[in-house]
Structure formats: C-alpha cells, structure tokens
Chains A and B, each alone.
Chain A
C-alpha cells in the first residue's frame, strides 16, 4: 500500500492539500465520530487518529473525487473507532457485531459467485444491492475495493484473522448477489 512517503508532490503541496482536507471534511469527521462516541474527548481522539491515518493514505486520497473521498473518510473514522473500542476492551456495539470467527471459517460456501456474476449483471443493479447490505458487509467491500487495503490490514482493523477477511468478503458478495436475484424474481412476479 502506498503511504505519504512515496509520492511525488512537494511538501508544500501536501500541506495545502491536508489543510484543505481538514477544512472541508472536519464537519463530516466529527459527525461520523459522534455516531460511535458521546464523550467529546473520545470524539476528538477518533478524529485526530483518523486524520493521522488519512495522511498515511495521502497518495491514494489525492486521486479521489469529493463524494468517494467522503466515503473513504467515513470508513477511516469507523476503523479508528473500532480500534479505540478494541483497545479499551469495550464490548462491541451492534454496529460492530461479529460472529464467532472460528464458526464463520468452518461454514462451507458452496455458492458459485463467479458463475453468478458471469451472467449479465449491470453495475447499477449491483451498486443498489451493495447499498442494501449490512453496514459491516459494505465496510469489508469498501476496505477491499475503495481503500485498497490488504487482507491483513482489514483483519487488523476488524480484529479478526486474514482468512476470516476473505470469508467475509465472499459472504458480502454472496449477499449482494442474493439481494440482486431476489429483486429480479420480485420484478418477474410483478410482471
């Protein structure tokens, strides 16, 4: 993964970009942090940690447009919040509810995802299906495809094993396909 160290912008350009990032998105960051914490000090901790993390991903976030950058920031806030929760050993709230990992890995997936996606799926339909997924599934997909994090990085954020990340990614995709096929069936019944 790229870091703030390996890109070709000047330090002055970086400084201006980061100032712009904070000025334009601090409202969003605080807004999201307040979803997970009530205490002002905690909220500020999350925002500060998230901002430091965003600096690490500077080369990536420079390329993102306004809306996608907003989603990226929200995911970073979420991952930092999870991290703080984990460090404080606070029981996870519903937002971060997890299954038993070992159980999760033992479940056999006989669902042929690639075969299903082979059929003429359009991006628009799949996008709608993804938007209907539970938040944690959306998070895994975004961590993989938007943040471009490696399995081990996602695993670290979620506090799970790298193998489980792959399982969760598969499940999230499977759920999206199922939502999609359910929607198609309903359409056919209406007709």
Chain B
C-alpha cells in the first residue's frame, strides 16, 4: 500500500513524541539508579572537568568577540558597498560627479558661486555677449561682461560672487585674458614693482593705469563703484580694446 507524505510525517511525529516520552521514563529510572549507587569522582578528575569548562567558555568569549567584530565589519562593508552602488547608479561619470559636487558647494554656500565652463566654442566673441545681455539664469542683470574677446579665446573660468565677477579666457597658444570686476568692499592686489612699462590711459571715458611686466599687460581703473582690471599676454592694443569692451 502506498502512503503519502502527510502519513509519513504523522508517523514520524508520533514516534518522536513517543520516543521522548520513553526517554523521560527511562531518564527518571536512570537517575534513581544513579542515586541508589552513588559514585564520587576523584578530586583530580573534578579538576580536569572544571578546566575543560573553563577552556571551553574562554574560547566562547574570544569567539563571541571576534564574531561581533566580524559582524560589525560585515555590516560596515555592506553599507559602503550599498552607498557605492547608489553613487554609481546616480552619478554615471566623472563629469557628472564634478557637477554634482559643485552644485552641492553652491547650495551650501549661496554667497559664493563658481561656474566652470569648459570647451565652449567662442569664435571671436562669446555669443551671449553679442546679444548684449548676460546669459539667462547664469548671471544677474547688471553684471559686467566683455563685449569683445580676441579670436581663438575660450572662456575657461567664470567666477561670480555677488558684487564681484571674473572671467578667464585662454587660447591654444596659452595666451590668456583675465578680467576682474570688483564691487565695493572688495580689494585687488596689483604688482607694480619693477614694471617694464607704465602709462595712463582712458578706458570708457575713465582714467586707467596701464602696466606691463614679464609679458603680462594689465589695465586697472575704477568708476567709483567698481574696480576693473584686465590682464593679458596679448598686445597693449588688445588689452585696451578688451577693457573698452567691458560693459554691463
């Protein structure tokens, strides 16, 4: 006759219960027997057993400690892995990661904002500057910007800090143009030691100081509210043309 699994399990449970019940009866009998025929082990033997107990529980202590340590380590590793996976999923490449970090800095410090613009093809002039207005959403209205930048110059860096703005352009020959506009309360350091050339010029109807040192030409002037400085490795003429093109 075939039996199904539930019969088998029932049979197994029945035998388990009966075996335990039998063991209970036998155990009582064994204990009575032992009580009737007492035996006192030697002190030496007792000592051996105590030593075994001590050694075993000592091992457990060390084992438990190392277990806890490895458990904590595993948990930490798991969290780190999880964080890495989430980060990798959220930020697929280095450029995005950099933008993400920049955004975090911007959000955490609203008074200081740094924009990094790379590989922008500017041609002769930066397109948004030709339109006579600052790029929407990038710089606030009234911010000074250069309306003229020599051909081949690319905007490498733009830093805006509430009242200050600076632009840094560079071409393939490593010539650069640096434009700084400082608002009230800001200061600008100009190195005028051992100048190769220094002269007084007019920029946008204002008196300006032109200076040249170690191949870098600079022009500095002020309208009373701002201090302007244009520095470049290009010629004096270009330096003054860029300075005259600065508008808001």
| Stretch from B53-61, B118-126, B178-186, B201-209 contacting the other chain | B53-61
Q: Which residue of chain B has the shortest Cβ distance to A12 in the bound complex?
A: B57
A52 touches B23 (CB 8 A): no
Segment touching B, from A80-88, A96-104, A113-121, A160-168: A113-121
The answer, yes or no, to whether B163 is at the interface (CB within 8 Å) is no
Check B11–A55 contact: CB distance below 8 A: no
A2 on interface, CB distance cutoff 8 Å: no
Residues of A within 8 A of B11 (CB): 113-114, 117-118, 173
- Residue B20 contacts which of A28, A66, A146 (CB distance < 8 angstroms)? A146
Tell me whether B22 and A118 are in contact (CB under 8 A): no
**Binary contact readout B203-217 vs A (1 if CB under 8 angstroms, 0 otherwise):** 000000000000000
Chain A proximity of B63: nearest CB distance (Å)? 6
Task: Provide the residues of chain B in CB contact with A71, threshold 8 Å.
Answer: 23-24, 26-27, 30
Whether B224 is near chain A, meaning CB under 8 Å from some CB there, is no
Bitwise interface map of B from 12 to 38 toward A, beta carbon under 8 Å scored 1, else 0:
001111111111111110110111011
Say yes or no: A48 contacts B20, CB within 8 Å. no
Q: Give every chain A residue within 8 A of B22 (Cβ-Cβ).
A: 127, 130-131, 138, 141-142
State whether B53 touches A19 (Cβ < 8 A). yes
B237 at the interface (CB under 8 A from A): no
The A contact surface, by secondary structure, is helix
Interface size (A, Cβ < 8 Å)?
A: 53
Q: Which of B43-51, B90-98, B101-109, B152-160 contacts A (4 or more CB under 8 A)?
A: B43-51
Confirm or deny: B41 has a beta carbon within 8 angstroms of a beta carbon on chain A.
yes
Ordered by A's residue number, 12 sampled pairs between the chains whose C-beta atoms are within 8 Å are A4-B56, A19-B50, A26-B39, A30-B39, A32-B30, A48-B49, A65-B24, A66-B31, A69-B27, A70-B30, A70-B31, A113-B11
Given contacts A70-B26, A72-B23, A124-B21, 11 further A-B contacts (CB under 8 A): A15-B53, A22-B49, A32-B34, A48-B49, A48-B52, A66-B27, A71-B23, A71-B27, A114-B7, A114-B8, A117-B7
* Interface residues of A, Cβ cutoff 8 Å to B: 4-5, 11-12, 14-15, 18-19, 22, 26-28, 30-32, 34, 44, 47-48, 51-52, 55, 65-72, 74, 112-115, 117-118, 121, 123-124, 126-127, 129-131, 138, 141-142, 144-146, 173, 176
The 7 closest A-B pairs by CB, nearest first: A67-B27, A70-B27, A126-B18, A71-B23, A71-B27, A114-B3, A117-B11
